[in-house]
Amino acid sequence: MATNTDALRTLIGTIVMSDAAQKVDFYLDKMHVDGSGLSYVALALASKPRGGRGLSIAVGGLGPHAEASYDPSTNTFKFPKVNYGTVPFERMTIFHESVHVWRDSVGRTVATSSGKVKTRDVSEEAAAFLAGALFFLYDAGPTSASDTTPTWAKGVYDNALCLALQVAGQSNPKGCNVNEFNQIGVDALKEGIRKNRAYRGHLTGRYDNNGVRL
């Protein structure tokens, strides 16, 4: 019997169209992550998943150490449980995976002011981790006035949250070019990704971003 994921589908759409999600707006390694791109994810969620169109949602089937995932070859979100997304960390993870959907939706290259370019998997992960951390700050904020570091902020998550706090703390963070703003922070985030056990052996160059049709 198939698992009913309608509630999860609705939640993902609500998250990507939320005020917090729409505040996320930055450039990293020539990728522009912003509310407009994430709005496409909401449209794709509304399309019936068939024949390479729309987005599918599966429960289970995750690789070792993976909190959640997105498979660009099948346009499928994968989560560990059907009621995923009830706490801020899980909402942040949903947003992270939605950034992968956006990147998949634009195809094998992204448009830049100097033409279309290919992007590397570690860059895509860095953009997704930073976007997720910014979403967390805008959506949930620090856990208390005296505790600005959540318990989950270790390793790569700490790298992402530290960089996100710096980006969000700018007087005008909208459209921030993170490479120009803090390349050292970007490099530290990428190094944290490479060391994370969920990505060991899986970062081989580029993800199979082949488009998401409505």
Q: What would the pLDDT profile of 92-141 be if each residue is shown by its tens digit?
A: 999 999 999 999 999 999 999 889 999 999 999 999 999 999 999 999 87
- Does 17 score more than 50 pLDDT? yes
- The answer to whether 132 and 159 have CB atoms below 8 angstroms apart is no
pLDDT of residue 151: 87
Is 155's pLDDT higher than 90? yes
Position 180 in a domain: yes
pLDDT tier, 145 (very low <50, low <70, confident <90, very high otherwise): very low
Does 203 map to a domain? no
Residue 214 lies in a domain: no
- Residue 50 clears pLDDT 90, i.e. is over it: no
Domain tally for the chain? 1
What is the average per-residue pLDDT within 68-79? 96
Say what percent of the chain tops pLDDT 70.
95
Using alpha carbons, list the distances in angstroms from residue 113 to 30, 197, 199.
Answer: 9, 35, 31
Instruction: Establish if 104 belongs to a structural domain.
Output: yes
Strand, helix or coil for residue 66: coil
pLDDT greater than 60 at residue 143: no
Tell me the backbone φ, ψ of residue 79, rounded to 5 degrees: -130, 155
Residue 212 resides in a domain: no
> pTM score, two decimals?
0.95
Helix intervals (H) in the chain: 6-16, 19-23, 35-46, 88-105, 121-139, 156-168, 178-195
Q: Please determine, for residue 147, whether its predicted confidence score (pLDDT) is greater than 90.
A: no
In a domain? residue 202: no
Structural domain range at position 165: 6-195
In a domain, 106, yes or no: yes
Nearest to 159 by CA among 122, 133, 139, 124: 133
Residue 144 confidence (pLDDT) above 50: no
